[in-house]
Amino acid sequence: MEQLESIRVQKLQQIRALGIDAYPTEYRYTHTVPQVVEQFGGKTAEELEHGPATIRVAGRIVANRPFGKAGFLGITDAGEKVQVYAKKDQLAERDFQLYLLLDLGDLIGVEGTLFRTRTGELTVLAKQISFLAKSFLPLPEKWHGLTDVEIRYRRRYVDLVVNPEVRGVFVKRSLIIREIRRFLDDAGYFEVETPVLHTVAGGALAKPFRTHHNALDMPLYLRIALELHLKRLIVGGLNRVYELGRIFRNEGISWKHNPEFTMLEFYQAYSNYEDLMDMTEELLKKVVQTVNGSPVITYDEQQIDFSRFTRLSMREAIVKFSPEPVTIEDVKDRAKVEALLKKLHAEYDPKAPVGNLVGSLFDAVAEKHLVQPTFIYDHPIELSPLSKIKTSDPSLVERFELYVGGMEIANAYSELNDPVDQRERFESQLKAREGGDEEAHQMDEDYIRALSYGMPPTAGEGIGIDRLTMLLTNSKSIRDVILFPLMRAEE
């Protein structure tokens, strides 16, 4: 590697000796590489002869086949590639000498005319070559395979160059976000930005990252949710608000967990969780159809149909998917729930309330089966300190989670707006913290104060953008859809 770098440094010196600026400030192109491919890729040789007199295009060299006094280059940009023909009698002497000093990975600009070779390939006949930047490190030929995964994540800038399909994932991610914004804007929602640094880590049950503000000499947390500030805005009269933002949770890393991730949260006054179920169906049908061109996607070798959604209560899902016979009444009985957990060898905390045990049972028997879009509603109150109690059953709250591809991608509530009830829920969470639960919710006096001014009936929802992108790009790991996922420090 050091020898290759040394040779390339020498070539840069030779390029400079030709009187060429090795790092110019700009290059004025007439077409991007994708525009060349799109506008001229379907034209015949005769049609190209009557096309533009010259074009100017720029890109990175990914192929070079020299043949003495001529040679073919392949340059790429924005996921597309076009061929360049460099011929000695068509170029100024300095430009041809420059061509002889080019390496794979170098960035160049080319001015010339379009034609088709004898094999029919669209090609730019170079009349002028401009040097734009030197690549001192050679590009790897292939980065596919498990042995290269970590390097690809660390050096995403190279991954994007050599693996065009990776660029396609992030183009689609951008389209997903754009369509979500368009849908919410059209529905009368107002996009806002709320603080990343919080004095109280709230809005979810998760372990936060801690930091410290030196000037104010106070501890702070990176936000674990967007929820509490957005609901403060509902109190303030912004009846439909949403935020797309980064969330930080000091938790483990897995194929579907990253310590920082992107969350959409939206809140709608004078509504409940059933309204958001309907809206979520409409939103996802629209996004999937627009981004993928069909409501049916392929994820992990399975066909998933976003034109059809199923709705099950958490208890119904346990009854449906349990490998052992169980009834709705059984799921309400602590002893029977605990016995079933033991029989299934599932992890659970024997000191936890029955609602937590039901949640553990659901995780053990149902989640992996929820491949098609499925709403799981009516969760135990112990799992949802910010949700409104279900009137017909005080042990439950008006909450749903949406599962697709065996993972949760959305979570929604009929929001609790009774400040007295909210304080009692927070106090219950404080007891859980005293018992060692680091993820239990902290007391947030200012949020209770906000509720005390009066918050209308409100429904709120969070959708994980990274997991949704995993589904729509058929990516097996969340790190495949995050440009720069967190990695261990290099040794």
The pLDDT, as a whole number, for residue 328 is 95
Identify whether 144 is part of a domain. no
Least confident of 245-259, 358-372, 421-435, 439-453: 421-435
Average pLDDT over residues 322-330: 94
**CATH code of the domain in which 53 resides:** 2.40.50.140
Backbone angles phi, psi at 418, to 5 degrees: -95, 110
Query: How many structural domains are present in the chain?
Result: 2
Radius of gyration of the chain (CA): 29
Q: Is 111:127 a contact under the CB 8 Å cutoff?
A: yes
How far is CA 313 from each of CA 273, 328, 357, 408, rounded to the nearest angstrom? Answer: 13, 10, 16, 15
List the single range of 66-75, 265-274, 373-382, 440-449 with lowest mean pLDDT: 440-449
**Looking at the domain assignment, is residue 444 inside a domain?**
yes
Tokens at 140, concatenated: 């790897």
pLDDT band at 60 (very low <50, low <70, confident <90, very high): very high
Least confident of 143-152, 185-194, 248-257, 297-306: 143-152
Residue 442: which CATH number? Answer: 3.30.930.10
Please count the residues of the chain.
Answer: 491
Average pLDDT, integer, range 87-106: 96
Q: What is the mean pLDDT of residues 176-203?
A: 95
Question: Packing angle between helix 354-365 and helix 314-321, nearest 10 degrees?
Answer: 50
Is 43 in the same domain as 112? Answer: yes
Domain end, chosen from 115, 133, 151, is at 133
User: What are the structure tokens assigned to 461, written together?
Assistant: 């929802």
Query: Does the residue 95 lie in any domain?
Result: yes
Q: Taking the alpha carbons of 477, 483, 486, 489 in that order, is the dihedral positive or negative? A: positive
Task: Give the tens place of pLDDT for each residue, 223-243.
Answer: 999 999 999 999 999 999 999
Confidence at 245, pLDDT banded by 50, 70, 90: very high
392: which 2 tokens? 């017909």
Helix (H, G, I), strand (E, B) or coil at 360: helix
Render 216-228 in DSSP notation, one character per residue. Answer: TTEEEEE-S-SHH
| Backbone phi, psi, residue 302, to 5° | -125, 140
Q: Are 478 and 258 in contact (CB under 8 A)?
A: yes
Residues 294 and 370 in one domain: yes
Residue 330 domain flag: no
306 closest CA partner among 369, 356, 372, 387: 372
Q: Note whether 294 and 186 are same-domain residues.
A: yes
Residues 84 and 128 in one domain: yes
Token pair of 312 as six digits: 């099950």
Closest CA to 383 of 367, 403, 401: 401
pTM for the whole thing? 0.91
Beta bridge partners of 87: 70
Q: Is residue 143 part of a domain?
A: no
- Domain of 401 in residue numbering reads as 161-322+366-480
Do 396 and 297 share a domain, yes or no?
Answer: yes
Output the six-digit token pair for 483. 């440009």
Taking every pair of C-alpha atoms in the chain, what is the biggest distance, in angstroms?
89
Give the bridge partners for 410, in sequence order: 402, 463
Same domain flag for 173 and 96? no
CA distance 152 to 163: 10
Domain membership of residue 247 (yes or no) is yes
Separation of alpha carbons 124 and 82, rounded Å: 8
Are 306 and 442 in a shared domain?
yes
- Determine the pLDDT at residue 437: 73
Among the residue ranges 74-78, 121-125, 439-443, the one predicted with the least confidence is 439-443
329 domain-assigned = no
Residue 41: the pLDDT is: 95
Same domain? For 288 and 425 the reply is yes
Co-location of 238 and 295 in the same domain? yes
Residue 161, token pair as written in the block: 């160059």
Environment class of 120 (CB within 10 Å of its CB; exposed 0-12, middle 13-18, buried 19+): exposed
Do 284 and 378 fall into the same domain?
yes
| 165 and 128 within one domain | no
Residue 146 reports pLDDT greater than 70: no
What is the reported pLDDT for 143? 61
- In terms of domains, do 58 and 202 share one? no
Residue 304, SS3? strand
Average pLDDT, the chain: 93
Token code pair at residue 182: 């368009």
Whether the CB-CB separation of 426 and 418 falls below 8 Å is answered with no
- Cβ count near 3 (within 10 Å): 7
Is residue 138 in some structural domain? no
- Tens of pLDDT along 274-291? 999 999 999 999 999 999
